[in-house]
A and B are shown apart, each in its own frame.
Chain A
Amino acid sequence: MGSLLNAGSVGFVVIAVLVLTAVGFVLTKRKALASVSGDPRQLHSLPNYYGSFAAMVIAVPALLLTALWMLVQPMLIQNAVIDLIPAESVAEGSSVNLVMSDVRRVADGLDVAVVQGAMTAQAAVALDANETDVRALLADVGVALGSEVSGPVLAAAQKYRVLTARGTSTMAIVVLALALVGMLAAMRISTGTFRARNMVERGILALLILAASLAILTTVGIVLSMLFESINFFRMHPWTDFFFGGSWAPNFRGDSDLSILPLLWGTLYISFIALLVAVPIGLFAAIYLSEYASNGVRSFAKPLLEILAGIPTIVYGLFALLTVGPFLVSVFGRGENGMLGVEWMSGATAVLTAGLVMGIMLIPFVSSLSDDIINAVPQSLRDGSFGLGATHSETVRQVVLPAALPGIVGAILLAASRAIGETMIVVLGAGAIARFSANPLDAMTTITTRIVSQLTGDTNFASPETLVAFALGLTLFVLTLGLNVLALYIVRKYREQYE
């Protein structure tokens, strides 16, 4: 909450910069026109460009500096304050970072207390941990703390508050000064011969490049965020056990077995069943729609199959849990009451449940990708085959499909990558037990399910049980990336170049 107060003062700075921008726009435009005695035809660019130039010069450096400052300031302040925490204050089994977050919370709470009027600003500075119960004081204003506030922690929190306030006010002054300097410089340079439009267009190009590089930034962010935590995890848990161990059994005692192999098996098994369902149905549907179907049937069936692709995966997950699961149990389980009279399946969540539903979800994926690829095979090949007397199905089987094979293999790999990364269907439809079993009627868990359960549980964030989720996520990312790259490579390498 205190960080929101900080955000409030940052908000003021941003609004001030924006106001300056608007003022600068108007003033610069007026100055440019005045420099040519009011005749816009004498200007190099349209008058608005002069105003836009001023706006860019004022707003962009100032806002960039604000963003950078707000990103860097907490780190610098943390480094300065962390020295104040004596080593004895760090309790057993805790870490300096946890104490640091306590310090932050106390500092924020004191800010909230001052804002709400529970104490004056001077009283907040003069607090003594031994005299007042700071924890109760903060609880009164709605800030919950996990433990009592000790002397060093309070001192650190006070220093944190002071440094943050000082930093924010310095930033406000510097940013506003920068904006003013920008405005004066823009006004000075805006005369009739100044090539304002070129400058503005260069600035817009820079913004466009920034937007395009956000894609790279996202990928880098994904990899780095998972990499750091994974490294932390591998410091606590041997990587040989993670990649080559045999069981997954997290517990609170600290000696958990955390191996990816059972999860990988579950993931691959479910994806295999999903592909077993989706590939034949999707491929044959695509062949029929592109080769045999009349225009009417095609315009009717294709959109309907696309609807299957647009349904959110939570719907499929619920469908698996509440409809397909009980149906399969009634067929394969329940002893004498079931359809087959066997007791093979005990619970509704099983590999078969999740696999079947995931297959249904992947049908339109495979179908539309294959459809595009089959359509891309030139008609001349088909005509040649017909000319030799082949039936339509023989043409498809022996000419069209081999020609389209690289693309179809690429489509299957993409579908496999989608199946491996799917979360909601397996969270609801597969089980939570990690095991190596070849029985599709057993419950088995997957990588994605465990990521969700390890990160949403009540475990301590710095424990290996929680950090393993980042390692799992990194493995999953690399796996799906590898499949996608492989699909692209196969398509590119083996694709026939027709005319």
Chain B
Amino acid sequence: MTDMPIEDAGAGARPRKGSLLTQDARTRKRNRAEARFKAYGMIAIGVGLLMLVILLTTIIGRGTGAFQQTFLTVEVELLEAKLDKKGNRDLADIKKVSTFGYAPLMRAAVEAKVAEIGFETDLKPKDMANLLSKNAAATLRNFVLENPDMIGETVEFEFLTQSRVDGYLKDRVTRASVANDKNISAAQLDLVDALVADGSMEKRFNLDFITGSDASDQRPEAAGMGVSMVGSLFMMLVVLALALPIGVAASIYLEEFAPKNWITDIIEVNISNLAAVPSIVFGILGLAVFINYMHLPNSAPLVGGLVLTLMTLPTIIISTRASLKSVPPSIRDAALGVGASKMQSVFHHVLPLAAPGILTGTIIGLAQALGETAPLLLIGMVGFIASNAPETIGEGLMSPNSAMPAQIYEWAKRADPAFYERAWGGIIILLVFLITMNAIAVMLRRRFERRW
């Protein structure tokens, strides 16, 4: 249309004034809008990453304190007169001495230490010994029961101090707050300062936080995650043993054998719905079916494992179906071509090739199940003090226990800053587990992924 006169080129069209290389006002406005839009996008990503950074720094900042605990080193004289009156070193007799019997020994030890560092105070020995945790007598008693031949000697012992002392050394407890605190007084804090200066009281790494059992409200310093970790481990074993076979079996059926009729449609709709059901509903299901109807023991990791299996099943099914779909049809046809039946081609050829993807999906599903708390609240795994590590597998599955996220929630409920610190520390342990599992999954995927 090169013979079209320029004057007819549309109503309102004017020849451009000036060069094409300078922008007119409208173009500038549009470019500014473009730059603003791009900026919104970058701000959004920035906000998301900022939240992640804030979250991680909060967790690490508040939680690492839980791994350190204050200990007091004193020399305890294990008086035979108090511990083994008959002198026979008979364990049955020694066991009869309760922790009340050990208290005077510890009072004497602390008093001796105070005299040794030359600290003048009006504190009575009872108040001096109050610096120690209420758990300390029990640890001394356990030591004596394991080493009865040490009775009569003087042993250097490291005792856990009570949570207020620990809080003072971690700046949770200040001089101003002790005025209303009945667990500690200002004079006791002076004593603490002197002991710290002497070097007999120090903060050091506390392995018991990771391996120990939970403790009651009065003893946050002795609370540990160990037993709940075992509970979580048993639950994960149950989930792995149940969800993996059932999930893979269901996926194989849906992917390879299911005819395209309405029954299959219902099954698929059900699976995608189950993936979106809130986790608390699974908890209600577990309460109603496993505990009320089947009378399984309350708070048992077996019940928790069963509930988490039902929750993890849709995840595993979805990821297994994706892996099975990614195996090219040529493999199946080749197997059929050399005389295998359909079932043999699936189990001997397709499944091994899809195995890395299935494994990755399972590990990710397990990692999600590890962090679930809501269903465990309803089957009773919270509000229970996990104090004894189970000894056998049967006991591990059926005796009441806690799980890691449930333990963290329990500590958060106790509304004591010492327990809050332990909750953050527990979160660090939980996240370490999760990061490890996800890293293993990613590594497996990278190593075994095949591009067809």
Q: Which residues of A contact B (CB under 8 A)?
A: 3-4, 74, 197, 201, 204-205, 207-216, 218-219, 221-222, 225-226, 228-229, 280-285, 287-289, 291-292, 301, 304-305, 307-308, 310-315, 317-319, 321-323, 360, 363-364, 367, 391-394, 396-397, 414, 417-418, 420-424, 427-428, 448, 451-452, 455-456, 469-470, 473, 476-477, 480-481, 484
Q: Which residues of A contact B253 (CB under 8 A)?
A: 205, 208-209, 211-212
Residue among A322, A364, A418, A480 with most chain B CB within 10 A: A322
Question: What separation, in Å, do the CA atoms of A284 and B277 have in the docked complex?
Answer: 27
Q: Which residues of B contact A420 (CB under 8 A)?
A: 278
**B420 in complex: contacting residue of A210, A221, A322, CB < 8 Å:** A322
- Comparing B2-10, B151-159, B369-377, the segment that makes contact with chain A is B369-377
With A304-B48, A481-B273 known, 18 other A-B pairs at CB within 8 A are: A204-B343, A208-B252, A212-B258, A218-B274, A225-B284, A283-B44, A312-B405, A313-B373, A317-B412, A319-B59, A321-B412, A322-B424, A422-B278, A451-B280, A452-B374, A456-B378, A469-B284, A481-B277
Q: Which residues of B contact A284 (CB under 8 A)?
A: 40-41, 43-45
B52 touching A456, Cβ below 8 Å: no
**B427 in complex: contacting residue of A282, A318, A428, A470, CB < 8 Å:** A318
Prevailing SS type, chain A contact patch: helix
B405 touching A314, Cβ below 8 Å: yes
B114 is an interface residue with CB less than 8 A from chain A: no
B16 is an interface residue with CB less than 8 A from chain A: no
* Closest beta carbon of chain A to B325's beta carbon, Å: 16
**B48 in complex: contacting residue of A205, A218, A222, A367, CB < 8 Å:** A367
B42 touching A288, Cβ below 8 Å: yes
**B398 in complex: contacting residue of A4, A301, A421, CB < 8 Å:** A4
Prevailing SS type, chain B contact patch: helix
Determine the interface band of chain B, counting residues with CB < 8 A from chain A: 35 or more
Question: What separation, in Å, do the CA atoms of A308 and B53 have in the docked complex?
Answer: 10
B288 touching A3, Cβ below 8 Å: no
Q: Which residues of B contact A222 (CB under 8 A)?
A: 277, 281-282, 284-285
Question: What separation, in Å, do the CA atoms of A285 and B39 have in the docked complex?
Answer: 10
Contact status of A452 and B33, CB under 8 A, knowing A284-B41, A318-B412:
no
- Comparing B131-139, B309-317, B327-335, the segment that makes contact with chain A is B309-317
Question: What separation, in Å, do the CA atoms of A394 and B29 have in the docked complex?
Answer: 12
* Closest beta carbon of chain A to B80's beta carbon, Å: 36
Question: What separation, in Å, do the CA atoms of A310 and B252 have in the docked complex?
Answer: 27
Closest residue of B by beta carbon distance from A228: B288
**A311 in complex: contacting residue of B55, B258, B424, CB < 8 Å:** B55
Question: What separation, in Å, do the CA atoms of A427 and B280 have in the docked complex?
Answer: 12
* Closest beta carbon of chain A to B422's beta carbon, Å: 11
- Comparing B86-94, B188-196, B430-438, B444-452, the segment that makes contact with chain A is B430-438
Residue among B43, B246, B281, B377 with most chain A CB within 10 A: B281
Q: Which residues of A contact B31 (CB under 8 A)?
A: 391
Question: What separation, in Å, do the CA atoms of A455 and B38 have in the docked complex?
Answer: 49
Query: Which residues, 291 to 331 on B, are CB-close (under 8 Å) to A?
Result: 295, 310, 313-314, 317
